[in-house]
Structure 1
């Protein structure tokens, strides 16, 4: 795993800042259909009102608020070269 890995807990603390009076909760856990990547939907309350954020797990084990870039098909010329 990458040493620069960002944990889900640290992102929830950063974005939702949960407290005992305004806790954050897991609303949904699942996998994306196309890439099979994991995501977690978190809900919390802020001073301005309710907030829902979806966190995506990347291949290096880190969590981000944006989805990972799917692997695109690629051609390998050396496989067909004689």
Structure 2
């Protein structure tokens, strides 16, 4: 059961923001943009945090499996199979 909780936590946007932007306890984090991608209409957010070295921002993308990641999901493209060719 503990493995399920861990994998669920690692899917969350909060986990990914903590992992990639590493905000401190007194660092503010802001969602500065959220919308859907033009291709695939998948959700994304841009999160910004102020660090002593300056502002840091990253885009996070929601994948079909429910996970948030820093890279966009692959675009669904038509696939050809031998069934389509009548082979």
TM range (shorter): 0.7 to 0.9
Aligned length: 80
Name the structure where helix makes up a greater proportion of residues. 2
Counterpart mapping for 1:49-64 below 5 A: 49-64=54-69
Structure 2 portions without partners, runs of 5+? none
Shift of the alpha carbon at 1:34?
Answer: 1.1
Query: Does the aligned pair in 2 maintain the 1:16–1:24 contact within 8 Å?
Result: no
Q: Does structure 2 retain, via aligned residues, the 8 Å contact 1:53–1:65? A: yes
RCO comparison, higher one (Cα < 8 Å, 6+): 1
**Which position in structure 1 is the counterpart of 2:13?**
8
Q: Name the structure 2 match of 1:67.
A: 72
- Please give the secondary structure, in 2, of the residue aligned with 1:55: strand
> Aligned partners of 1:71 and 1:42: how far apart in 2?
26
For structure 1, the 5+ residue unaligned runs are none
2:18 paired with 1:18: no
**2:18 aligned counterpart, secondary structure:** helix
> What is the TM-score with the length of structure 1 in the denominator?
0.81
What's the TM-score once normalised by structure 2's chain length?
A: 0.77
Q: Give the superposed CA RMSD.
A: 2.0
How far 1:18 sits from its partner (Å)?
A: 2.7
Q: State which of 44, 47, 53 in structure 2 corresponds to 1:39.
A: 44
* 3-state SS, counterpart of residue 55 of structure 2: strand
